[in-house]
Structure 1
């Protein structure tokens, strides 16, 4: 079992089941309409989010990879802050339909950045993300676009889209061993074809290509 960072020793250990894909901007509205028809309690226009995320690293002398925490706060609801830890993404058995990774998410106060700095963490990068979210039972679907901040901490001006496409993620956060979740997600993903192909993305290959 994955060793938890000290800050999360008392937190509930959960597993995120994940499928990912992308869609070009000109197809976004068609996908949103499809999701409105498939998901629970949806309305037009759908619920949206506009967040600022900061990624903090701390080098660990006992393991090769640094500790990574993610701080996200809403730019719509200024008092809404969260701290997230994501474990390494696992491809697992090739017959399993989804990726899995440890996921711990907890609400925090706005002084979390100061707290992390005092612990020795340093911000590695930050970005703004805008998008839409849907729920189908315990499944969550997000359609997101990411923006690079050309001026540090400036979340309003001179934002530059990282790429022209939207990231589409289908996920479920639950206890470890809920294998039936993957089949439910696979069946739901089939209903989004051919608009978007949701699949297991090998993050290790992405990391290798960036180094």
Structure 2
């Protein structure tokens, strides 16, 4: 099994790559097919280099019709998005079987099922770089078949969760915008209610290892034209982990002076000096 952290072997010497990869226009096709064709085209141009997905994310809270008019004026083609996504997680804690020595089995595999076609997708851990205003992930997409489900089950993967995705993909030469809704999967496998009330917006493009900064600048330029209809930002998954709540330090009682016990408090007529137990504070004599 190939190393899932790499899209290929060593770098191709002597190649001149663009700062971000050019995305061709793919008319009359579904959103997933357009993305798959784009990825193959990009990998062919980039040689054996890794392919990364740079993206910005947002939630649409403005009227849908107004937003779509702005998007259609910026993009060149529109394709429907309608598929079922299944996420499989491994139950094996080791690095893999003996015959796969030297390979790394991913902990999670995404399978998209669209029009009786299986698309297998590996999504690497998000890379949050402070000087790059976009989220970066290593991605690998391959086209599979029904037997792939049996294959990953034999490798120790089990289905963790699944959901439906429906909406539209708007694309131009070098980037794509996804406007989608996520819906629940009922017990009988049919489509249920929407998981959230608002549509999700994702603006993305593909890049090589040396084009992160140029790709992020290109995404943010397009994001400015979409504001204020939607605010697209770099999603930082680290913010989901909150710090433990720090309990406020209780102030001492107002009748107590720091450094003195309560029974050693200064009493009237004692000259500002603490009195001892058993001594009358008013007569300076013993009881």
Q: TM-score range by the shorter chain?
A: 0.7 to 0.9
Question: Larger Rg: 1 or 2?
Answer: 2
Structure 1 residue aligned with 2:79, among 47, 51, 68? 47
Q: Distance in 2 between matches of 1:34 and 1:19?
A: 17
Structure 2 residue aligned with 1:186, among 220, 240, 244? 220
Q: Distance in 2 between matches of 1:61 and 1:30?
A: 49
Aligned residue number for residue 136 of structure 2 = 100
Structure 1 residue aligned with 2:72, among 36, 41, 45? 36
Q: Which runs of 5+ in 2 are unaligned?
A: 10-42, 96-105, 243-287
Once the two structures are superposed, what CA deviation does each residue of 1:168-192 show, in whole Å capped at 9, x if it has no partner?
A: 0011123211131111111001000
Structure ranking higher on relative contact order (CA contacts 8 Å, 6+ apart): 1
Q: Which runs of 5+ in 1 are unaligned?
A: none
TM-score by length of 1: 0.82
Residue 207 of structure 2 is aligned to residue 155 of structure 1: no
Once the two structures are superposed, what CA deviation does each residue of 1:48-98 show, in whole Å capped at 9, x if it has no partner?
A: 1110000000145358xx710000011xx22x22101111112102x3121
Q: Distance in 2 between matches of 1:127 and 1:114?
A: 20
Residue 124 of structure 2 is aligned to residue 87 of structure 1: yes
Aligned residue number for residue 107 of structure 2 = 67
TM-score by length of 2: 0.61
Q: Is the 8 A contact 1:19 1:171 kept in 2?
A: yes
Q: Give aligned pairs, total.
A: 193
Report the structure, 1 or 2, having the larger strand content. Answer: 1
Residue 232 of structure 2 is aligned to residue 195 of structure 1: no
Q: List structure 1 runs of 4+ shifted beyond 2 angstroms.
A: 3-13, 59-63
Alpha-carbon offset, residue 160 of structure 1: 1.8
